[in-house]
Amino acid sequence: MDYKLLQYETDERVATITFNNPDRYNAFNSSMKNEFRNAISKADQDEDIRVIIVTGAGGKAFSTGYDLTEAIDIPRQSPIAWRRRITDDFEFTYTVWACSKPVIAQIEGYCLAGALEFAQMCDIRYCSEDSQFGVVESRFSGGVVTLAMPWIMGARCRELIYTGDMIAANEAKEMGLVNRVFPKDRLRIETMNLAKRMSLIAMACLQGNKRAINQTYDIMGFRAATANGIETCVLLEAIDSPEYKDFDLLRRKIGVKEALKWRDSQFKKYE
């Protein structure tokens, strides 16, 4: 498959998949999601690859989440249409969890909304010191498609989800959201060094340990809980809250970027 919105590279036993649409802050659209499904499957099936790194091009963003322009024509009060869309997004994030090999999210810049959900489904998260994280979809009455955050951060996730605030790299590390923070100019090198150390472990050991860890979460109800979260997300997308109506009107009149600025301006006096 020829990739238009991804880059796929290998270095010894490590594959790197790069979201490659920096002009759009690597936002996830349908084409990118489909390409990624192919790429992660390719790396998983390659017997020479033991570890996978996922990152974003351009230096400004790992990704800002799902492309809001794609959902603009879905009728708000259409649960069936929203369930179809949200289930596809959910299954996209699950591709890295289901991959038999360790997947590292190498995060630089913004990691927001659906991209943060995706990163949390990876086995490990390393980030640059300028990274920023946020459940920003809360601010326009959007649901969290893949609700993995409680499993990573525990009750500390409530503040992030309830406020839609963004946090910086060091705070994300302190809260357990990321494993390590590196200087921006060292992120790629340090992530690759760690990935290559992992890649020296026997394939059977890596895959066996990942399977055992995932099964531990599943026994505790992870898969059932995240799947149940889809229904809450569908409900939130299919109701017309006053906050969403204001945001949606501006999005259609002046564009997504300006609507997002307006939304954030509502919170400024309390920050």
**Which sequence positions are flagged as catalytic?**
117, 137
Q: Which residues contact 39 (CB under 8 A, 6 or more apart)?
A: 1, 3, 6, 8, 17
pLDDT value at residue 76: 66
pLDDT value at residue 20: 98
pLDDT value at residue 42: 98
Nearest CA among 11, 46, 8, 65 for reference residue 191: 11
pLDDT string in tens for the chain (271-residue length)? 899 999 999 999 999 999 999 999 999 999 999 999 999 999 999 999 999 999 999 999 999 999 988 877 777 667 888 899 999 999 999 999 999 999 999 999 999 999 999 999 999 999 999 999 999 999 988 899 999 999 999 999 999 999 999 999 999 999 999 999 999 999 999 999 999 999 999 999 999 999 999 999 999 999 999 999 999 999 888 887 888 888 878 888 888 788 888 888 989 889 8
Q: Rounded to an integer, what distance in angstroms lies between the CA atom of residue 122 and that of residue 12? A: 21
Contact between residue 71 and residue 96 where contact means Cβ atoms under 8 Å apart = no
User: pTM to 2 decimals?
Assistant: 0.94
Query: Tell me, what amino acid is at 27?
Result: A
Question: DSSP letters along 115-178, please?
Answer: HHHHHHHSSEEEEETT-EEE-GGGGGT---SS--HHHHHGGGHHHHHHH--EEEHHHHHHTTS-
Name the CATH topology of 6-203: 2-enoyl-CoA Hydratase; Chain A, domain 1 (3.90.226)
List strands edge to edge, sheet with 6-11: 6-11, 14-19, 51-56, 103-107, 124-128, 180-182
pLDDT value at residue 77: 66
Domain ranges of the chain: 6-203, 240-271
Cα 87 versus chain centre, distance:
15
